[in-house]
């Protein structure tokens, strides 16, 4: 508040003017002119109102603020420029001013002639004149723009201080901080004061070296900004990671005025990313790199594999019968074992190889720069050694072996998949050989495996496509040299591969289970053939069929045979079942049961390949056998090899004593036949008499012998 006592001043000036000279009068005149000029030129709106509330004087600025002309205001009541609803208050304020002689400076809003609302700051002073008249001199400042800017700045300040991103403003000197927000405190753990004291320094606490920051500043100076990830240390020495946006601000002349840094901390995000990355590339069961990781490492190794002296090898380890651990104990136990195996393998090879867990019970090992087969063998030997001690978990002892497959990188290898799949093929081969051994992938192995998988696949449709047929090999009674029966032997004429020997495809059929339908087809076809010959009244008393161990294990074998016999309507004793000695001994109890049932049905049973297995005489007595077939290997040696002759003689002797018939297979020469006959062998089968024949050929053979 300011009271401008004009009355007093006028009085004094009058007194003075009495004595003053013309010069002084002139000076006064000049001052008045000056004041008038200021009054009109100033941006501050000034008005003078009398006690009744009428405008007496207004300056240009006042008119401009309100949008009225001087004529529209002077002589009019001040409420002309006040909105209706505020009129009453304004009048009261006016009266109060003249009563009290002052008014507080205040901010308020006014409406202009054209209806705009303005924010103004006004203050007023009382002017008392000599004649006792009082005037109110009001100054008014349009602060609308200022207010808007102020409000905006308030908002910006709020946004800056409550932002999650750290924000720093500096002057043109990046070490001179103008502003730093709260988020920087949160990110770095330093207080605002500490941050201000070490300007920029806290950004350089990370592991990055001097050149990193030099490059950063070079880019900012050149392009005006830098964007990227930085690492720093918090006050508590923990590392943090942040995305930094650093901008250089320039004025219209291009001179740097400020730098603004915005820091978005991503430490947690990075940790989560790292974890996700870990989970995606490591196995949580074994903590070893997973298959994807392994393939990646392998691909990289292949790319940089330029050393012509070193070789790149993949070793795959597949635990034998691991499923039993899961089945006999639990999955948890299985996982424990995998973890322990992983630990042992990694521990053994930690300095020489990358070890990964590829899922299930498979481990992959990458050997970079091995010198050859010897060093690989050395490694596989170490693995075997590492797994040889039993694993002990809470008194449970588990012993495990592994099948190991090895593949070497070749120029023509297509990449990591090739190396892995080759090693897997080698494992399959090791498994086929019974496990607990190592196999190296070769082109020859691949050829065999490819053929195998083709046969495996094509066997499924061989019956339907009529590719299978039977040949029959005569069995001759030696005393009278008469045909008494035949052995049915299967043949497969593959549409593209030609004749595939039974020794090759029967094993595959056994592994894949297709031996069941094939075996059934053999029995039925042989039975039907026997029936035909019976109808033709040919002297073929029986047809022998070979039964695989897989068929024997199958519970329904007796039922299957029974149904075929009934369906074809032949006498059961026209069928003889041939089983190898080893098949019989595999599950002797079950064999005894099945043979008893077959015997009850009236079938005959022959032990094939006799002498090659480990027959127990006591068991032989318990099984209702009709005939022993002396294995071809002994017959081959007859005459030339003393041992073979003795064994043959002994088998014949033993068979007689036990009441079995005895037949020699693979007889090829007259001498063999003679020896067998002399030693009391009942029958013979072999090329000497005939190769296996098609039915029509066999019929001719029989008729020619009559």
Residues that bind ligand C2E (CB under 6 A): 473, 489-490, 501-503, 506, 519, 522, 546-548, 608-609, 665-668, 686-687, 692
405 binds, among ligand C2E, Ca ion, none (CB under 5 to 8 A by kind): none
Q: How far is the CB of 693 from ligand C2E (least distance, A)?
A: 11
232 binds, among Ca ion, ligand C2E, none (CB under 5 to 8 A by kind): none
DSSP per position, 332-375: HHHHHHHHHHHHHHHHHHTTT-EEEEEETTEEEEEEEEE-SHHH
Tokens of 443: 């082109």
Cβ proximity to ligand C2E: between 22 and 499 the closer is 499
Binding mask 580-609 for Ca ion (x = CB under 5 A): ----------------------------xx
CB contact at 8 A, 555 and 593: no
Q: Which stretch binds Ca ion (CB under 5 A): 8-16, 375-383, 451-459, 575-583?
A: 575-583
Closest CA to 338 of 363, 308, 366: 363
Distance in angstroms (rounded) separating the CA atoms of residues 297 and 454? 33
Tokens of 16: 């003075």
List of residues 6+ apart from 471 with CB closer than 8 A: 488, 489, 491, 692, 693, 694
295 binds, among ligand C2E, Ca ion, none (CB under 5 to 8 A by kind): none
Q: Which of residues 609-668 bind Ca ion (CB under 5 A)?
A: 609
CB contact at 8 A, 248 and 221: yes
| Residue 570, number of CB atoms within 10 A of its CB | 22
In the complex, which residue's CB is closest to ligand C2E? Answer: 686
Q: How far is the CB of 280 from ligand C2E (least distance, A)?
A: 49
Distance in angstroms (rounded) separating the CA atoms of residues 317 and 404? 5
680 binds, among Ca ion, ligand C2E, none (CB under 5 to 8 A by kind): none
Q: How far is the CB of 564 from ligand C2E (least distance, A)?
A: 14
Q: Which stretch binds Ca ion (CB under 5 A): 326-334, 347-355, 376-384, 539-547?
A: 539-547
Binding footprint of Ca ion, residue count (CB under 5 A): 4
485 binds, among ligand C2E, Ca ion, none (CB under 5 to 8 A by kind): none
User: ∠ CA 645-649-652 to the nearest 5 degrees?
Assistant: 140
- Residue 424 sits at φ, ψ, to 5 deg, of -65, -35
Q: How far is the CB of 471 from ligand C2E (least distance, A)?
A: 7
Q: How far is the CB of 690 from Ca ion (least distance, A)?
A: 15
687 binds, among Ca ion, ligand C2E, none (CB under 5 to 8 A by kind): ligand C2E
Q: How far is the CB of 505 from ligand C2E (least distance, A)?
A: 9
CB contact at 8 A, 627 and 652: no
What dihedral do alpha carbons 648, 654, 655, 656 form, nearest 10°? 110
32, burial (CB in 10 Å: exposed 0-12, middle 13-18, buried 19+):
exposed
Cβ proximity to Ca ion: between 361 and 631 the closer is 631
Region of 223 please: left (phi>0), alpha (psi -120 to 50) or beta.
Answer: alpha
Exposure class string for 523-546: b at 16+ Cβ within 10 A, else e = bbbbbbbbbebeeeebebbbbbbb
578 touches Ca ion (CB under 5 A):
yes
Q: How far is the CB of 628 from Ca ion (least distance, A)?
A: 11
Cβ proximity to ligand C2E: between 110 and 664 the closer is 664
Q: How far is the CB of 474 from ligand C2E (least distance, A)?
A: 10
676 binds, among Ca ion, ligand C2E, none (CB under 5 to 8 A by kind): none
319 binds, among Ca ion, ligand C2E, none (CB under 5 to 8 A by kind): none
690, burial (CB in 10 Å: exposed 0-12, middle 13-18, buried 19+):
buried
439 binds, among Ca ion, ligand C2E, none (CB under 5 to 8 A by kind): none
Distance in angstroms (rounded) separating the CA atoms of residues 647 and 630? 9
Distance in angstroms (rounded) separating the CA atoms of residues 231 and 79? 66
Q: How far is the CB of 576 from Ca ion (least distance, A)?
A: 10
DSSP per position, 605-657: EEEEEETSS---HHHHHHS---EEEE-HHHHHTTTT-HHHHHHHHHHHHHHHH
Cβ proximity to Ca ion: between 609 and 683 the closer is 609
Cβ proximity to Ca ion: between 429 and 578 the closer is 578
265 binds, among Ca ion, ligand C2E, none (CB under 5 to 8 A by kind): none
Q: How far is the CB of 632 from ligand C2E (least distance, A)?
A: 6
Q: How far is the CB of 692 from ligand C2E (least distance, A)?
A: 5
What dihedral do alpha carbons 642, 644, 647, 648 form, nearest 10°? -110
Cβ proximity to ligand C2E: between 220 and 558 the closer is 558
584 binds, among Ca ion, ligand C2E, none (CB under 5 to 8 A by kind): none
Residue of 546, 548, 549, 648 interacting with Ca ion (CB under 5 A)? 546
Residue 12, SS3? Answer: helix
| Residue 559, number of CB atoms within 10 A of its CB | 11
- Binding residues (CB under 5 A) for Ca ion: these are 546, 578, 608-609
């Amino acid at each position: 508040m300011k009271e401008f006592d004009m009355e007093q001043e006028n009085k004094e000036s009058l007194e003075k003017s009495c004595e003053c000279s013309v010069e002084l009068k002139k000076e006064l005149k000049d001052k008045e002119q000056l004041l008038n000029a200021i009054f009109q030129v100033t941006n501050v709106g000034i008005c003078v109102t009398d006690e009744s509330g009428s405008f007496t004087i207004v300056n240009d600025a006042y008119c401009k603020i309100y949008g009225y002309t001087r004529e529209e205001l002077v002589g009019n009541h001040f409420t002309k420029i006040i909105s209706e609803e505020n009129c009453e208050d304004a009048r009261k304020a006016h009266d109060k001013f003249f009563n009290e002689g002052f008014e507080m400076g205040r901010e308020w809003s006014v409406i202009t002639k054209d209806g705009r609302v303005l924010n103004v700051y006004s203050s007023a002073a009382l002017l008392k004149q000599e004649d006792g008249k009082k005037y109110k001199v009001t100054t008014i400042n349009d602060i609308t723009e200022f207010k808007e800017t102020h409000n905006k700045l308030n908002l910006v300040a709020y946004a800056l201080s409550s932002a999650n991103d750290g924000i720093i403003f500096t002057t043109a000197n990046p070490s001179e901080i103008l502003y730093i927000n709260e988020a920087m405190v949160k990110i770095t753990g330093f207080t605002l004061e500490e941050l201000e004291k070490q300007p920029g320094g806290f950004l350089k606490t990370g592991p990055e070296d001097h050149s990193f920051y030099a490059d950063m500043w070079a880019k900012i100076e050149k392009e005006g900004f830098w964007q990227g990830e930085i690492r720093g240390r918090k006050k508590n020495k923990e590392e943090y990671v942040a995305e930094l946006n650093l901008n250089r601000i320039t004025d219209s002349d291009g001179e740097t005025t400020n730098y603004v840094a915005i820091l978005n901390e991503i430490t947690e995000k990075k940790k989560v990313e790292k974890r996700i990355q870990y989970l995606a590339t490591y196995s949580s069961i074994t903590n070893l790199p997973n298959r994807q990781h392994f393939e990646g490492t392998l691909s990289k190794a292949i790319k940089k594999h330029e050393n012509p002296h070193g070789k790149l090898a993949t070793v795959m380890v597949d635990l034998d019968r691991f499923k039993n651990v899961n089945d006999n104990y639990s999955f948890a136990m299985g996982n424990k074992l995998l973890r322990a195996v992983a630990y042992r393998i990694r521990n053994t090879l930690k300095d020489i190889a990358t070890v990964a867990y590829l899922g299930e019970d498979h481990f992959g090992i990458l050997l970079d720069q091995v010198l050859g087969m010897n060093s690989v063998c050395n490694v596989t030997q170490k693995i075997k050694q590492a797994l040889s001690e039993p694993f002990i978990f809470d008194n449970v002892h588990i012993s495990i072996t592994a099948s190991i497959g090895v593949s070497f990188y070749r120029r023509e290898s297509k990449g990591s998949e090739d190396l892995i799949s080759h090693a897997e093929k080698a494992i399959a081969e090791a498994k086929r050989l019974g496990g607990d051994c190592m196999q190296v992938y070769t082109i020859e192995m691949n050829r065999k495996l490819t053929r195998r998988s083709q046969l495996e696949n094509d066997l499924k449709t061989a019956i339907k496509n009529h590719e299978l047929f039977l040949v029959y090999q005569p069995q001759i009674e030696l005393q009278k040299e008469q045909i008494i029966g035949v052995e049915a032997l299967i043949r497969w004429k593959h549409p593209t591969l030609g004749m595939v020997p039974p020794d090759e495809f029967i094993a595959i059929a056994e592994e894949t289970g297709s031996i069941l339908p094939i075996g059934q087809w053999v029995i039925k076809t042989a039975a039907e053939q026997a029936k035909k010959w019976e109808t033709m009244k040919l002297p073929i008393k029986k047809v022998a069929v070979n039964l695989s161990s897989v068929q024997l294990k199958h519970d329904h074998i007796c039922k299957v045979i029974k149904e075929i016999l009934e369906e074809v309507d032949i006498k059961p004793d026209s069928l003889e079942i041939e089983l190898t000695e080893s098949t019989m001994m595999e599950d002797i109890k079950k064999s005894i049961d099945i043979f008893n049932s077959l015997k009850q049905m009236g079938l005959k049973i022959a032990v094939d390949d006799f002498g090659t297995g480990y027959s127990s005489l006591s068991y032989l007595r318990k099984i209702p056998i009709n005939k022993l077939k002396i294995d071809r290997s002994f017959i081959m040696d007859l005459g030339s090899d003393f041992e073979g002759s003795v064994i043959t003689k002994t088998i014949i002797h033993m068979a007689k004593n036990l009441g079995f018939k005895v037949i020699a297979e693979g007889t090829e020469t007259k001498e063999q036949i003679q020896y067998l006959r002399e030693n009391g062998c009942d029958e013979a089968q072999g090329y000497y008499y005939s190769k296996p024949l098609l039915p029509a050929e066999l019929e001719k053979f029989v008729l020619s012998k009559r």
